[in-house]
Amino acid sequence: MLAPVAPGMERMRSIMEAQVRSDAAAVQAMTAHVGSFRGKQLRAALVLLVGKAVQARDDEHPEVAAIVELIHLATLVHDDVLDGARVRRRVACVNERWDNQIAVLLGDFLYARAFHLSTTLRSRLASQLLADTTAVLCTGEIEQAALRRDFELTQAKYEDIAAKKTGSLYSAACELGARHPSEDREDPRVARLGVEMAAFGREVGLAFQIVDDCLDVVGEEEVVGKSVGNDVEDGKLTLPVLHAFARADAATRDRMRAIYAPNAAGAATGAPRRIELLRECCDLSAGVEQAMARAHELVANARARLAPLPASPAREALDAIALFTLERRF
Ligand code: FPP
Ligand code: MG
């Protein structure tokens, strides 16, 4: 999938490594650790692939891709603290390998390095867009935390939150691939491409989050490569669960509410985790099927946005990434 941008990805990785290098041995050990859970680096690839697909002037795209990936890493390190997660990409989370204090500070360090790198670019577009995106992403996380255990959550509000916390960075990656480094007097063709590619990223990102939320309820930790059942444990209501709730009878709904109640089941040592109770209590597979249908719809919309671009290996790869979000099991 990433073959059309392999040299750019290599360059992006060496820029990232140089950016997080530190004289402090403790920091060096931690950045090496997060390097080992680098994962698919899809957001970085999107910057480079969109740049290629729209035939942008792309000499600084590896830098932009490195900034996007550093911000993504920072958010994951912080997210694992918020979620109390133990494993990510088959490797111990920073909060598990060290502790919460270290993880908060390391996330700040990574974000600061991204911020610094953005000041070295020839235009302010990336720093402006990514600063706004980080604020949107935090807004999504805050709204999600505020609405924990609220079974009144609608599909529209769920999608709004998922678009903010996940869709926003995908969207910014694609928009920057299309637009960087243009700033003030932008060519209208480039501006139009920016809007279309931003929408492509938002839809793919939203689909990715829906699939992620399905894997959290029906996936297995060994296959997914990270802790599962965490959303239920944290009281986060996700699309598959909202659909299962909507289908349930009154008694089942009461049991579901009780499972999500703070300090209910799962609190005592040896008690089953909430996810086990939820799996027994309601029809999660029907909820997952309905949520996956929505993810398919989003991916179809996203793919249609690629059609006007000239045929190229980069456009094919974007199409494959959109499809991959539906098929991934990890
Ligand atoms: C993963 O969601 C997390 C996000 C998409 C964003 C998290 C963002 C923050 C915690 C804000 C960080 C702010 C700064 C400035 C660095 P998830 O928990 O649903 O997915 P997961 O299963 O991969 O953990
Ligand atoms: Mg998480």
Of the given ranges (25-29, 83-87, 206-210, 262-266), which has the lowest mean pLDDT? 262-266
pLDDT at position 267 is 54
Mean pLDDT across 256-276: 79
Cβ-contact 217, 312 below 8 angstroms: no
Residue 183 pLDDT > 90, yes or no?
A: no
Mean pLDDT across 8-26: 96
Mean pLDDT across 222-246: 90
d(CA 119, CA 239): 38
Q: Which residue among 42, 71, 75, 89 is best mutated to probe the pocket of ligand 1, counting the most ligand atoms within 8 A of its Cβ?
A: 75
Question: Ligand 1: does its nearest atom lie under 6 Å from the Cβ of 58?
Answer: no
Question: Ligand 1: does its nearest atom lie under 6 Å from the Cβ of 83?
Answer: yes
Position 312 confidence tier, pLDDT thresholds 50, 70, 90? very high
Question: Ligand 1: does its nearest atom lie under 6 Å from the Cβ of 60?
Answer: no
Buried b (16+ CB within 10 A) or exposed e, 191-216: eebbebbbbbbbbbbbbbbbbbbbbb
CA-wise closest residue to 224 among 296, 328, 97:
328
Percent of the chain residues past pLDDT 70, beyond the cut: 97
- Taking the centre of ligand 2 as the mean of its atom positions, its distance from the CA of residue 318, in whole angstroms, is 25
Residue 264 pLDDT > 60, yes or no?
A: no
- Taking the centre of ligand 2 as the mean of its atom positions, its distance from the CA of residue 78, in whole angstroms, is 9
Q: If you average pLDDT over each of 166-180, 223-237, 261-275, which comes out highest?
A: 166-180
Place of tokens 């490195």: 66
pLDDT at position 158 is 98
pLDDT, tens digit, 9 for 90 and up, residues 129-162: 999 999 999 999 999 999 999 999 999 999 999 9
- Taking the centre of ligand 1 as the mean of its atom positions, its distance from the CA of residue 166, in whole angstroms, is 8
Mean pLDDT across 32-43: 88
Longest alpha-carbon distance in the chain:
63
Structure tokens at 111: 């974000």
CA-wise closest residue to 159 among 237, 73, 79:
237
Residue 270 pLDDT > 70, yes or no?
A: no
Question: Using CB atoms within 10 A of its CB, is residue 119 exposed (0-12), middle (13-18) or buried (19+)?
Answer: exposed
Q: Give the domain 3-248+283-327 fold.
A: Farnesyl Diphosphate Synthase (1.10.600)
Written as one letter, the residue type at 188 is P
CA-138 nearest atom, ligand 1: 11
Residue 266 pLDDT > 60, yes or no?
A: no
E strand residue ranges, 58-98: 87-88, 91-92
Mean pLDDT of the chain: 94
Position 320 confidence tier, pLDDT thresholds 50, 70, 90? very high
pLDDT at position 223 is 78
pLDDT at position 249 is 97
Question: Which has more confidence, 65 or 222?
Answer: 65
Position 85 confidence tier, pLDDT thresholds 50, 70, 90? confident
Mean pLDDT across 309-328: 96
Mean pLDDT across 262-269: 61
d(CA 169, CA 176): 10
pLDDT at position 87 is 87
Place of tokens 């993880």: 103
pLDDT at position 268 is 58
Question: Ligand 1: does its nearest atom lie under 6 Å from the Cβ of 212?
Answer: yes
pLDDT, tens digit, 9 for 90 and up, residues 117-130: 999 999 999 999 99
CA-209 nearest atom, ligand 1: 19
Compute φ and ψ for 249, nearest 5 degrees.
-80, 175
